Homo-oligomer: A and B are copies of this chain.
Amino acid sequence: MDSVKELGERKIIELILECLDQMPHMPLPFGDDASAVDLGADKLAVINMDMLVGKTDVPRTMSLWQAARKAAVMNISDLAAKGAQPLAILASIGVPPNITKADIQQIGKGLNAGAREYNAYILGGDTNEASDLVISCMALGVCKEDQLIKRSGAEPGDYVAVTGFFGKTAAGLKILMNGLSASDDRGELVDSVLMPKAKVKEGIALAQSKAATASIDSSDGLAWSIHEISRASNVGFLIDELPVAPEAERFAEIHGFDSAELALYGGEEYELVVTIKPGLWQEAKTAVEKVGGSLIKIGLVTKDRQLLLRTDKKTVSIEARGWEHFKTA
């Protein structure tokens, strides 16, 4: 019999989706960053749910406050990718028997911090005894129907852009998990793992600009994000300016890693990866900069369903792999 280890997370989700009746007129298809419900009057409720499991998602050096904050932020990030304003968060907490009163307070404060950073509130939830620490959050946001950004709208010729540089979390995880050194960049790299930021203002600015044709949050890594837009939009990608963070570049140099590998196949990053109508590029960039963010062009959407990375020296394929839990193969 196939066990979970052999199936992997994505196959499990696929198996479950096959069992579900599909809601008529779903504003977002199964498998997008979030789900949406038509509320009438041009308004959508955008909802998302993501579980943080102590054993697999929380490095030992991450405090409970940081873990709880992250549980809120990672849910908010998925709403951000759809252009929705997060309003409310619920948290369902599985509590291991050895947890203390002080621990619970750290979790409460961390959840609150994660929500308030993005103008949302924790409205409730529940707790249960569990073997692992489990913090399962859901986020509710709203957006106008015509401003929702799916994964499926990318067109050949669109620009590909990101809201920040990549590779820091891959480096940060190597520092935290394997004890690698990083000289002056240590704080910045470790922080990218312990204190992830959602790009809410950027997502909403892009939605309002109506320049974005597709969007995803990069929590499964840059390569996987591109792969997902490619699959949903039936397009290809030519990336010619890989957005490697300078800190990740220096870290790669110290340890002899390939910095492109860190940037492409990391994960647990919460940047937005978007495609932009070329004629509205300046509007999109200005809109994002106006709210204090940045929009970095990294390539083009192509007709051919290949994912390519072009550097000065050569053109290589970007593999469709990324951050996936509990798959061994």
Q: Which residues of A contact B (CB under 8 A)?
A: 1-5, 7, 9, 12-13, 15-23, 26, 30-32, 34-37, 39, 41, 43, 45, 47-53, 55-57, 87-88, 90-102, 104-105, 107-109, 111-112, 116, 121-132, 134, 136, 138, 140, 142, 325-326
Q: Bound complex: CA of A108 vs CA of B21, how far in Å?
A: 10
Q: Which of B21, B124, B127 contacts A35 (CB 8 A)?
A: B124
Contact B49 A92 (CB under 8 A): yes
Contact A129 B4 (CB under 8 A): yes
For A3, the chain B residues whose CB sits under 8 A away are 97-100
Q: Which of B31, B87, B90, B95 contacts A49 (CB 8 A)?
A: B90
Contact B128 A53 (CB under 8 A): yes
Consensus secondary structure, chain A interface: mixed
For A26, the chain B residues whose CB sits under 8 A away are 123
Q: Bound complex: CA of A268 vs CA of B4, how far in Å?
A: 30
Contact B51 A92 (CB under 8 A): yes
Contact B104 A7 (CB under 8 A): yes
Question: Shortest CB–CB separation between residue A239 and chain B, in angstroms?
Answer: 27
For A56, the chain B residues whose CB sits under 8 A away are 128-129
For A91, the chain B residues whose CB sits under 8 A away are 16, 49
Contact A111 B142 (CB under 8 A): no
Contact A105 B51 (CB under 8 A): no
The 5 closest A-B pairs by CB, nearest first: A19-B108, A35-B123, A16-B108, A129-B326, A23-B121
For A47, the chain B residues whose CB sits under 8 A away are 47, 88, 90, 123, 138, 140
Q: Which of B7, B17, B100, B108 contacts A20 (CB 8 A)?
A: B108
Question: Shortest CB–CB separation between residue A21 and chain B, in angstroms?
Answer: 6
For A130, the chain B residues whose CB sits under 8 A away are 53, 55, 130-132, 134
Closest to A98 in B: B3
Q: Bound complex: CA of A186 vs CA of B37, how far in Å?
A: 41
Contact A34 B124 (CB under 8 A): yes
| CB contact under 8 A between A124 and B88, given known A2-B100, A112-B20 | no
Q: Bound complex: CA of A254 vs CA of B4, how far in Å?
A: 45
| CB contact under 8 A between A19 and B111, given known A51-B94, A126-B13, A127-B12 | yes
Q: List 28 A-B contacts (CB under 8 A).
A: A3-B97, A4-B99, A5-B97, A7-B101, A9-B127, A12-B95, A15-B108, A16-B111, A19-B105, A21-B121, A23-B121, A30-B124, A37-B88, A45-B88, A47-B123, A48-B124, A49-B124, A49-B126, A49-B136, A50-B92, A51-B128, A53-B94, A57-B128, A92-B136, A94-B94, A97-B326, A130-B131, A140-B140
